[in-house]
Amino acid sequence: MPGGGALTAKLHGAVVRWFAAEARDLPWRHPECSPWGVLVSEVMLQQTPVVRVLPVWSAWMERWPKPGDLAAEPSGEAVRAWGRLGYPRRALRLHAAATVIATAHDGELPDSEDGLLALPGVGGYTAAAVAAFAFGRRASVVDTNIRRVHARLIRGEALPAPALTAAERRLAETLLPDDDETSVRWNAGVMELGAMVCTARAPKCLICPVADACAWRAAGEPPPSYVPKGQAWHGTDRQVRGAVMAVLRGASHPVPRVVLEGPAMAVAERESTNPELARLHTLAPAPEQLERCIAGLLADGLAVELPAGLSLPH
């Protein structure tokens, strides 16, 4: 833990000044960005890099600048616009939240953590982040980047625990500045520091604004106590689900199961009508895997089955 109020204040000052000078120019950080825009960004950024989110967020906000605009369209359009961001259930959650905001809150996001938590699909992290970054509230925001900075800076550990712990939550609350404005900038600054400097694999300690106070550096930069496991992709259900979803997003009509199950038309014709079919067939999933993935998409509400075939939800 920091050695008293003076050291904590020094950390606050160093990180806030660094953020003011070095922060990336991201559209959801602009003063004119609406709370809705901040919510959309936070949901999209979960487990997804900024570079992939930027074009999708921009297109989303141009099409649906207010929650009511999204709520007025079928949930399948949110899934279609989600594109290849991954974890498309997030699109359904945003559509559900937009519907509640439009119908129960006159189109305006609740401005408190409790109010945000009551929205469909909004968890503790997202509620705290939107309260802080959209409404300037003092809220303890704890994402992967913040956890890593806290682990190194305060606890002297190379990486945080594999899952968020109660001790980490308490530490984040203890480090949070007392006043609203500084707390918001501290949250944003620590998050940016973890994303750009205090990275998981190659931390740039020589340009870190708080390197002189870092417990991990003082301890000789000990290695992590565990090896993070990356998520497999090739050949997994996630890959096949994603390929099926890509077919449905690109289709203007329901897609019969027989078309998903195998090359039901010439390659040239198939690629001219929906090139994603060729990609799905190239994966050549076993029939039981494809059936399992389709069943999962139907159960998750990401697809519906009509007499003519599968499509995005209406």
CA proximity to 274, closest of 254, 296, 289, 293: 254
pLDDT in tens, 224-251: 999 888 778 899 999 999 999 999 999 9
Predicted pLDDT at 302: 97
Of the pLDDT bands very low, low, confident and very high (cuts 50, 70, 90), residue 269 is very low
For residues 164, 170, 176 and 178, what is the CA-based torsion angle, rounded to 10 degrees?
150
- Which pLDDT belongs to residue 61? 98
Q: What is the pLDDT of residues 131-183, one digit of tens each?
A: 999 999 999 999 999 999 999 999 999 999 999 999 999 999 999 999 999 99
Q: In Å, how far are 118, 159, 233, 243, 276 from 86, measured between CA atoms?
A: 24, 25, 12, 11, 16
Catalytic residue among 22, 42, 113, 192, which? Answer: 42
What pTM does this model have? Answer: 0.92
260/266 Cα distance (integer angstroms):
14
Tell me if residue 157 is catalytic.
Answer: no
- What digits encode the pLDDT tens for the residues 191-221? 999 999 999 999 999 999 999 999 999 999 9
- pLDDT, tens digit, for every residue of 84-94? 999 999 999 99
Q: What is the pLDDT of residue 268?
A: 41
Q: How confident is the model at residue 263 (pLDDT cuts 50, 70, 90)?
A: low
Do the beta carbons of residue 159 and residue 134 sit within 8 Å? no
Q: What is the pLDDT confidence band of residue 31, given thresholds at 50, 70 and 90?
A: very high
Q: What is the sign, positive or negative, of the torsion defined by CA atoms of 34, 35, 37, 42?
A: positive
Q: Which two tokens stand for residue 45?
A: 């950024």
For the cut 90, the answer to whether the pLDDT of residue 288 exceeds it is: yes
Q: For residues 97 and 261, which has the higher predicted lDDT (pLDDT)?
A: 97
Say yes or no to pLDDT of 24 above 90.
Answer: yes
Pairwise CA distance, residues 31 & 184, whole Å: 13
